[in-house]
Amino acid sequence: MLRHERREVVHFNVTEHPSAQWTAQQMVEAFPWDPPPTYVVRDRDQIYGAIFHRRVKSLGMEEVLIAPRSPWQNPYVERLIGSIRRDCLDHHIVLNERHLRRVLRAYITYYHTARTHLSLGKQCPQARPIHPPDSGDVIAFPHLGGLHHEYRRAA
């Protein structure tokens, strides 16, 4: 689940056999203490069954369905999925669900704290400070086992 205004991943999970009940449970797990958003933008996948509809309604959220075969109507999520595939999964051999969760958790941390977004003014979803050139040498900090790097100045 993605919060649109800051491109922030709110919740993710992995399962080999998703069902409507599992998907509905993810809605509850995404917002255990925070108030849920007003709207949920989603596609027309069959995974969203009656259980999911009831759960979303009970949380006080309104479902907004995109048109059939129209991924451009949900561009932020489609972009995130593409980034996860290109920047992460194309470079890893995933062994099992647990390993996939660990890899995705590391990527989401990188995505939130180090990966720049043009739509956010070349900032991350969790804004980072900008250091002037005289504040030290540039040091590379590896992410995802060295697949990506974050460059910061260190005093």
pLDDT at 134 (0 to 100): 83
* pLDDT, block means (10 residues), the chain with 155 residues: 90 93 94 88 91 94 93 92 95 95 96 86 84 85 91 82
The structural domains of the chain, ordered by start, are 2-154 (3.30.420)
- Residues 6 or more apart whose CB falls under 8 angstroms from that of 16 comprise 97
- pLDDT of 4 reads 86
For the chain, give the secondary structure using H, E and C. Answer: CEEHHHCEECCCCCCCCCCHHHHHHHHHHHCCCCCCCCEEEECCCCCCCHHHHHHHHHCCCEEEECCCCCHHHCHHHHHHHHHHHHHCHHHCCCCCHHHHHHHHHHHHHHHHHCCCEHHHCCECCCCCCCCCHHHCEEEEEEEHHHCEEEEEEEC
Dihedral sign from CA coordinates of 47, 54, 21, 64 = positive
The predicted structure's pLDDT at residue 55: 94
User: What does pTM read for this prediction?
Assistant: 0.85
